Every structure is written in structure tokens, then in C-alpha cells.
């Protein structure tokens, strides 16, 4: 049996309680490409692993532009992750691209501009993501390959009919407005919609309850993940979809409340062009090292400790808890779901 040991440096972090491991490969490759999916499945597992909503890999596209790759917990690579991008932006701003602001990221879903700043009201590092890759063209989302926009259109799930809007934010989204999130079978319906036969390669699904034109609640069932405490691109798509459907304001900040906390999305919907800004936290949980063993082409933890924490950011966690406590999202909505505990893994 062939066995090889290696250790990888990681940052455990979160955006709106959507938690990730960040691996900074700007200086050197930490994990060869064939191991990235296996590593993600290993560390993302909340039963027996460490627990995460995915893994962010950062590398240098050139001297001025980093590249971000994002892997879902099931090991699949996604085009983009808005919350993960905020964490990647902070890592670059404090690392290889130190002090560079703004930073333009290259992703499989397109180019995204990020701006790092310190939020005085919340006493936390924040990142603002600007994107103009938003599109109503569903050609790469729907199995029919139609280019006709899918805006507030009816569709069937079994015997039930729902209404939704499909948008691309570099990755596929279905936005379903609901009168009351409490009345939705988030697990069952979310899974059915993610895997609906109308989609070419599944989709992220967000259920949206409009409170006021400047305030919405969002719960996302993320492709390759399941229910998440928040989804960055899901929140962007939710606001823009509701602008297109005339229920929230345009070109003004919309406060998006999720189970994981609060972000602000400023949409800009004009004839022929969609863009938006997503602003929210990028919070460090800890820095550490994960010892690994490669054996017979499989990846394992090499130590019972699993992760050797070198620095724990307790003050940041406390500050973020204050912000998250202000969400209008009722955690009772999650009763009986995989998110009922709703706790970021601190391992």
C-alpha cells in the first residue's frame, strides 16, 4: 500500500454564517487538482469531518488578478459562490494582493469586483462584491436551451403549480416568491426543485418572502449542498428577480435577512443591463493546519486531532453574533430541517 503524508494550511471562515475553508495557493499548490474534490468532501462532512459549506481555492491569475475556484460539499465544482468570494477577497487583501483595493477576481462564472473595508457600525471586516454577469437568458440553465427569459412563469412540481424566475449570476438560480416561509416544505420542495427536469444541470433554489420594498427574507436550497444558512449569489438573484417582478426597490439597498444573518444588496436594473452589489461580512473563525494521508488514491485525516488550530478569532465571532442577532428571519422556519441547529462548525 502506497501512503503519503501532507499538511495543508487553511482558514476557516464564513460570510453570513455560510462557512468555508479557504486554501491560498497563490504562492504554491497545496493540493493537486485530482485531490481537490476528495479534500472538499472530507472536510465538509459535518458528521466525522470538520464541517463546511464548501472549499474556496485561491490562485494567482496574474500579478493583479486572483482566481477563485469553489467546490461544493459533494465535491462538485460550482461556477461561483458569493459568500465564498467575500472570504476569498479578504484573504487576498490581507495576503498575496495585500492592500490592493478593489480586487477583480476571475471565476468560472465570470469576473467579479471586490472591495474590502471595515464596517464601523458592526466592527467587522466587510466586502462589497459588484457583478454585472447577471442575466435573464436561461439558455445554459434550462434543458430546452431556450433564450426566452423565464420571469414569473408557472411550472409544475407533481400536482402543484408554482411561479418562479430564473436568473444566472454566473451560476443557475430559480427564485420562488412565497407568502410565508413557514408554510413551505423547504427540504422536500427544495430538493425537488434543485433536481427539476427542466434544468440542464440542476439549480440553486431560493424561496423569497417580501416584507417591505427594502426588506426581504430568503432561504436557499443550494445546488450540491442542500439548505444553507445563506447563499451569496442566491441573495443577489433574489433581489434582482424581485425588482424585475416589481416587489422591491431598484437602485437602493435592500436588506436581505437569512437564517445566517444580514447582507445588503443594491440592484441596478435598467433596459438591457442587470448589475448588483452584495455587501456583507467576511469573518475568520480560525487559522490552522490539516494533516492528511493519501493512501491508495484516497484521502484521509492523518491525525485524530483533525485540525491543528493556530489562531482562533473569538472577538470576530462575538462581533458577528451581534450582527446576526438582528436578522428578522424566524429560526422556527427551520424546525425539522437539516439546519435546525443552525450552528457554524467551530472544529
* Average pLDDT of span 215-235: 93
Residue 60 is predicted with a pLDDT of: 95
* Average pLDDT of span 149-166: 95
Measured from the Cβ of residue 111, the count of other Cβ atoms closer than 10 Å reads 15
Pairing state between β 55-60 and 18-24 = parallel
Residue 332 is predicted with a pLDDT of: 93
pLDDT tens, 9-34? 999 999 999 999 999 999 999 999 99
Residue indicated by cell numbers 495576503: 95
Query: Residue ranges of the domains in the chain?
Result: 3-128+282-334, 153-279
Whole-model pTM: value is: 0.91
Q: What is the mean pLDDT of the chain?
A: 94
Which residues carry out catalysis?
81, 231
The dotted CATH code for 3-128+282-334 is: 3.10.310.10
Angle at 309 between CA 22 and CA 123, to 5 degrees: 65
**Chain-centroid distance, C-alpha 236:** 11
Coil vs helix vs strand at 170: coil
Instruction: Give the CA radius of gyration of the chain.
Output: 19
Q: At residue 341, does pLDDT exceed 70?
A: no
* Average pLDDT of span 178-186: 96
Does 3-128+282-334 match 153-279 in CATH topology? yes
Residues facing 119 on adjacent strands: 124
Q: Which three cell numbers stand for residue 74?
A: 459533494
User: Are residues 173 and 82 in contact, defined by beta-carbon separation less than 8 angstroms?
Assistant: no
pLDDT tens, 137-147? 999 999 999 99
Percent of residues, the chain, with pLDDT higher than 90: 86
Q: At residue 172, does pLDDT exceed 50?
A: yes
Residue 63 is predicted with a pLDDT of: 86
Least confident of 29-38, 286-295, 334-343: 334-343
Residue 347 is predicted with a pLDDT of: 47
Question: With respect to CATH, is domain 153-279 assigned 3.40.50.1100?
Answer: no
User: Are residues 260 and 225 in contact, defined by beta-carbon separation less than 8 angstroms?
Assistant: no
Angle at 211 between CA 326 and CA 232, to 5 degrees: 60
Q: At residue 323, does pLDDT exceed 60?
A: yes
Residue 236 to residue 171: CA distance in whole angstroms: 11
Backbone φ and ψ of 189, nearest 5°: -70, -40
User: Are residues 95 and 243 in contact, defined by beta-carbon separation less than 8 angstroms?
Assistant: no
Which phi-psi region, left, alpha or beta, contains residue 261 (left: φ > 0; alpha: ψ -120 to 50)? left
Residue 224 is predicted with a pLDDT of: 84
Angle at 247 between CA 201 and CA 261, to 5 degrees: 70
* Average pLDDT of span 75-93: 95
Residue 337 to residue 187: CA distance in whole angstroms: 6
Residue 141 is predicted with a pLDDT of: 97
**Buried-exposed string 226-244: b where 16+ CB fall within 10 A, e elsewhere:** bbbbbbbbbbbbbbbbbbb
Least confident of 37-46, 57-66, 273-282, 334-343: 334-343
- The closest alpha carbon to 290, from 4, 42, 7, belongs to 7
Tell whether the torsion through CA atoms of 332, 333, 339 and 342 is positive or negative.
negative
Q: Which three cell numbers stand for residue 124?
A: 467587522
Amino acid at each position: 500500500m502506497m501512503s503519503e503524508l501532507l499538511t495543508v494550511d487553511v482558514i476557516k471562515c464564513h460570510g453570513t454564517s455560510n462557512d468555508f475553508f479557504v486554501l491560498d495557493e497563490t504562492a504554491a499548490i497545496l493540493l493537486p487538482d485530482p485531490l481537490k474534490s476528495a479534500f472538499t468532501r472530507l472536510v465538509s462532512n459535518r458528521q466525522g469531518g470538520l464541517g463546511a459549506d464548501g472549499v474556496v481555492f485561491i490562485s494567482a491569475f496574474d500579478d493583479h488578478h486572483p482566481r477563485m475556484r469553489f467546490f461544493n460539499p459533494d465535491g462538485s465544482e460550482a461556477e461561483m459562490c458569493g459568500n465564498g468570494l467575500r472570504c476569498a477577497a479578504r484573504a487576498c487583501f490581507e495576503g498575496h494582493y495585500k492592500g490592493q483595493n478593489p480586487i477583480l477576481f476571475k471565476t468560472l462564472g465570470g469576473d467579479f469586483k471586490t472591495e474590502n473595508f471595515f464596517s464601523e457600525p458592526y466592527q467587522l471586516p466587510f466586502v462589497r462584491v459588484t457583478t454585472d454577469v447577471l442575466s435573464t437568458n436561461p439558455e445554459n440553465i434550462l434543458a430546452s436551451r431556450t433564450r426566452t427569459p423565464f420571469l414569473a412563469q408557472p411550472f409544475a412540481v407533481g400536482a402543484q403549480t408554482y411561479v418562479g424566475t430564473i436568473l444566472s449570476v454566473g451560476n443557475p438560480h430559480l427564485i420562488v416568491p412565497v407568502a410565508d416561509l413557514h408554510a413551505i416544505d423547504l427540504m422536500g420542495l427544495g430538493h425537488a426543485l434543485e433536481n427539476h427536469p427542466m434544468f440542464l444541470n440542476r439549480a440553486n433554489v431560493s424561496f423569497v418572502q417580501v416584507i417591505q420594498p427594502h426588506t426581504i427574507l430568503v432561504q436557499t436550497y443550494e445546488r450540491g449542498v442542500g439548505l444553507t444558512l445563506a447563499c451569496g449569489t442566491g441573495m443577489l438573484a433574489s433581489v434582482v428577480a424581485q425588482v424585475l417582478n416589481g416587489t422591491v426597490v431598484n437602485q437602493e439597498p435592500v436588506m436581505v435577512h437569512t437564517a445566517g444573518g444580514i447582507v445588503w444588496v443594491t440592484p441596478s436594473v435598467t433596459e438591457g443591463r442587470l448589475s448588483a452589489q452584495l455587501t456583507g461580512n467576511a469573518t475568520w473563525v480560525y487559522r490552522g493546519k490539516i494533516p492528511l494521508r493519501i493512501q491508495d488514491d484516497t484521502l484521509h485525516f492523518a491525525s485524530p486531532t483533525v485540525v491543528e488550530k493556530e489562531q482562533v478569532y473569538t472577538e470576530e465571532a462575538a462581533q458577528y453574533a451581534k450582527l446576526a442577532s438582528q436578522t428578522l428571519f424566524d429560526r422556527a422556519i427551520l424546525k425539522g430541517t437539516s439546519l435546525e441547529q443552525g450552528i457554524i462548525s467551530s472544529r
